[in-house]
A and B are shown apart, each in its own frame.
Chain A
Amino acid sequence: MARVFIPATLRDRCDGRSEVEVEGATLRQIVENLDAACPGIAARILEGEAVRPDLALAVNGVVGAEGLLERVPDGAEIQIMPAIAGGGAG
């Protein structure tokens, strides 16, 4: 079971809930199961077969490199956040 934090502007899809618990061993399964709990939310998160270009899914606060194939350990926390980059130090 993973704990998904729902951004404020998506909570209308989840009956106002800020957190939803769903099953899933990968981010793809998490999104699929989240959509069952919050109908229509997957269409807001995905674009085609991938996460929307301006969005990122984090597992325990960390955005991985495997996209929807990213493994989700039992008890993990999933955050839906903007995709953002860094600058440079030199």
Chain B
Amino acid sequence: MVTTEKPYKVVGTRPIRPDGTDKVTGRANYGADIRLPGMLYGRVKRSPIAHGTIKRIDASKALALAGVRAVMTAEDLPRKGRREFAPLGSVKISLATLSGNVMARDKVRYEGHAVAAVCATDPHIAEDALELIEVEYEELPPVLHADEAMLASAPLIDEALHTREMATGESAEEPSNVAMHFVAEMGDVEAGFAEADVVLERTFKTQMVHQGYIEPHNATAFWRQDGGLEIWCSTQATFVMRDHLAGLLEHPVSQIRVTPQEIGGGFGGKISVYLEPLAAVLSRKTGKPVKMTLTRDEVFRATGPTSGTAIRVKLGAKRDGTLVAAAGELVYEAGAFPGSPVAAGVRCIFTAHAIPNQRIDGYDVLVNKPKVQPYRAPGAPAACFATDSVMDELAERLDLDPIALRLKNAAVEGTRSADGAAFGVIGSRDCLEAIRNSPHYRSELQGPNRGRGVAHGYWYNAGLESSAYASVNSDGTVALVLGSPDIGGTRASIAMQLAETLGIAAERVIPQVVDTDSVGFTSVTGGSRTAFAGGWAAHEAGLDLRQQLAARAAKIWGVEAEQVRYRDDAVIVGPAGEDGGERSITFTELAAKLASTGGMIVGRADSNHASAAPTFATHLVDVEVDPETGKVEVLRYTAAQDVGTAIHPSYVEGQIQGGVSQGVGWALNEEYRFDEKGRMENASFLDYRMPTALDLPMIETVLVEVPNPGHPYGVRGVGEVPIVPPLAAVANAVHAATGHRFTELPISPGAVLEKLLPGED
């Protein structure tokens, strides 16, 4: 449901997606479809233990196997320093971390950590060769939980790691598994709690969960004899991939070309390198293209889920519900290398609410589990689970409607977060009011064992750099060249913004995602930035075209360019001709004349605007809990979200429904399970329980449009915030249904029965 009318012709409509036909007919090319002459097949030898030193690697038997062409280890990769960095948007990533995670050098840090890679003429031979690579380990005790890892007595995962204070850059003297400590503080938190009438303090835990994309990681590399390195892979970030490979392999960036294939889901998990440097080194060794594809088991064990967390939240409020103080402590598992999303958790945990006094501490903690990677609004869902669970309890304690409590404290324009930043135009209250006015909220939930929950979430969204090239074809279409891999319908949403700027139909813009040599630098498809920044680049390329087309019309008419203008209906008009009538020519008519009047025209833009706007979401869910099995069934779900301007409402709705689905899975079923030695016990979709279509009702959406004043079409990112509220909303609904607060996720049938039937087997 869209709540507003828009002054646009293309923006806000629902054209068929340009890549739709190829995808539904199975013709779209994914990385696994790559076939090259003489291609070899690579596989990765992985650690069977979670923590240990590598004493010896002997690949001689594998190399003697017929069909095996090469084996590589970390010795084939340049050794990188801890303070060597590669760019990732506005962030810099340690090359030592990237390199160490790609392949273990002296020590394995998690089960599944790569220790060697092999390539052969046949994938089965490569698989057989893995068994012939002998690796000798000295096993060390694993550290599996952040609370244990923070103890001074805990085994060290990285003996050279010292806790670094984010703000000061100072490092502790003693080594530790705590990589970083973040602090954000505003006002006087102690005085705030002192004036509170009610103070609630609770601790929450969540487990590692995976993005669960359908397509496993894959990469094909060909290191040509002239030094050129070609990479075909499934990635959210072709230019980031290129730059990271340049750093990891110490190879000139000009010699690397990354060609993105279609991508079967990423959600943040396909930004980092995994197979690409291994395939590249094996190709360099053999002179042949090398293709590598992960199995689902490897995706679970050896790519990046998001953090397990332990979060303590303390809220203080007046009797009327006014929040006066908040304190939070966030402990996030980074996995085996530094880099959890705890900083984003710190930024998001209280930001949906206006609270004058705050103190937030965040800890990035190493454990012997896979290195975590971004996952849709990284760091925010667990933080919202904690805060909005306490908000729900606070509403209950104060006998307030849960939405009324949130409305009373909702962040508005001018509200500051703990880092001092003040909001501009935002739709926080609008989302809460949309849910309060929804048919769902106004309906009565009847029946036993049923409950209703709400939650309210925030995500900040990113901007960053995007490029777009637009070429006018003689038939009046426009070829639009983009550098953003399309993971959520962005070909369509970016093309529509160019069509709007040119005043032509969306179907007349033909978007194409190209390699790193064929378009200007474009940052990651992530951070909910692509429709915002890509759309802005396309708009600027469109403005460039309008100017050039007007100039061409002026040339044809023999008048000054300043006398000609490009109208929003794609008609170029000039001064009156000899007959006294206004000169005019349509976009299509002019396109047909370009070749004979000076040549074809290309519009270009490399844009980088720092005006991305945050977004909010309010979710409402009804559940029913089976008291005999403990199963929680989602009966009805409504999500209201400030989407800025919905460029293609169907894809915005799809993003919201997708985020909710993943959030419900996180709340009810999904978790990485490890044995006491740190070996994952459920590395398959059979045992790692993600929701399917049978588990969810149709998710109702309310698109609240509060345009971003910092974008020509009012775009805010929409893809990440919908995963923020579901964890808390579902937990609050289960509380309403059972009377029990669930402070740990997932709220699986077993966990529910433990509460409902304490002491029974």
Question: Which A residues fall within an 8 A CB radius of B?
Answer: 5, 7-10, 18-19, 44, 47, 52-56, 58-65, 70, 77, 79-90
The closest CB in chain B to the CB of A61 belongs to B421
A77 engages B347 (CB within 8 Å): no
Known: A7-B185, A86-B527, A88-B527. 19 other contacts (CB 8 A): A5-B420, A8-B184, A19-B420, A55-B166, A61-B421, A62-B610, A63-B610, A81-B419, A84-B91, A85-B524, A86-B268, A86-B461, A87-B375, A87-B377, A87-B526, A87-B527, A87-B720, A88-B236, A88-B719
Encoded as 1 (CB less than 8 Å from any A CB) or 0, chain B from 603 to 641 comes to 000001011100000000000000000000000000000
Instruction: Tell whether A8 pairs with B185 under 8 Å between CB atoms, given A79-B421, A82-B343.
Output: yes
- B489 close to chain A: CB less than 8 A: yes
The 5 closest A-B pairs by CB, nearest first: A89-B719, A86-B527, A87-B268, A5-B420, A90-B488
Nearest-CB residue, chain B, relative to A4: B420
Closest to B267 in A: A88
A56, B718: Cα distance in complex, Å? 24
How far apart are B271's CB and chain A's nearest CB, in angstroms? 7
- Shortest CB-to-CB span from A63 to chain B, Å, is 5
A88 x B525 contact (CB < 8 A): yes
**How far apart sit A81 and B526, CA to CA, in the bound complex (Å)?**
20
Chain B CB within 10 A, most for which of A63, A81, A85: A85
Decide: A53 and B341 in contact? CB cutoff 8 A. no
B533 to chain A, nearest CB (A): 10
Tell me whether A56 and B183 are in contact in the complex, defined as CB-CB below 8 angstroms, given that A64-B610, A87-B374 are known contacts: no
Whose C-beta in chain B lies nearest to the C-beta of A70?
B610
CB distance from B632 to the nearest CB of A (A): 25
Q: B55-109: which have CB < 8 Å to A?
A: 85, 88-92
Whether B183 contacts A9 by the Cβ 8 Å rule is yes
Residues of chain B from 286 to 303 with CB closer than 8 A to chain A in the complex: none
Contact of A89 among B183, B184, B611, B720 (CB under 8 A): B720
The interface residues of chain B lying within 8 Å CB-to-CB of A79 are 419-421
Q: Which of A19, A58, A85, A90 has the most CB atoms of chain B within a 10 A radius of its CB?
A: A90
Are B167 and A89 in contact, with the CB atoms below 8 A? no
Contact of A10 among B91, B167, B422, B465 (CB under 8 A): B167
What is the interface size of chain B, counting residues whose CB is below 8 A from a CB of the partner? 73
| Interface contact A85-B374, CB-CB below 8 Å | yes
Complex contact A10–B718 (CB within 8 A): no
B655 near A83: Cβ-Cβ < 8 Å: no
A residues within 8 A CB of B267? Answer: 87-90
Q: Once bound together, how far apart are the Cα atoms of A68 and B359, in whole Å?
A: 28
Q: How far is the CB of B347 from chain A (nearest CB, A)?
A: 7
Q: Does B265 contact A (CB under 8 A)?
A: yes
Could you give 9 example pairs across A and B, Cβ below 8 Å? A58-B419, A60-B421, A62-B463, A86-B374, A87-B375, A87-B376, A87-B527, A88-B719, A89-B526
Q: Is B324's beta carbon under 8 Å from chain A?
A: no
Q: A9 and B168: CB pair below 8 A?
A: yes
Q: Bound state CA distance, A85 and B720, in angstroms? A: 12
Asked if B658 is at the interface of the complex by the 8 Å CB criterion, the answer is: yes
Tell me the complex Cα distance, A70–B90, Å.
Answer: 13
Shortest A74–chain B CB gap in Å is 17
Question: Does A84 lie within 8 Å of B167, measured CB to CB?
Answer: no
For residue A87, which residues in chain B have a CB less than 8 angstroms away from its CB? 267-268, 341, 374-378, 526-527, 720
Shortest beta-carbon distance, A4 to chain B, in Å?
Answer: 9
Contact at A85–B88, with CB atoms within 8 Å?
Answer: yes
User: B612 near A83 (CB under 8 angstroms)?
Assistant: no
Contact A85 B525, CB 8 Å, known A8-B183, A10-B168, A65-B465: no
CB distance from B434 to the nearest CB of A (A): 21
**Given A10-B167, A65-B465, do A86 and B265 touch, yes or no (CB 8 Å)?**
no
Q: What B residues does A59 contact at CB under 8 A?
A: 610
Q: Which of B169, B182, B266, B423 contacts A88 (CB 8 A)?
A: B266
Most chain B beta carbons < 10 A, residue from A58, A70, A84, A87: A87
Bound Cα distance A81, B268 (Å): 22
Q: Is the CB of B268 within 8 A of A88?
A: yes
Knowing A53-B92, A61-B422, A81-B419 are in contact, say whether A90-B719 is a contact too (CB < 8 A): yes
Contacts of B717 in A (CB 8 A): 86, 89
CA distance A88 to B267 in the complex (A): 4
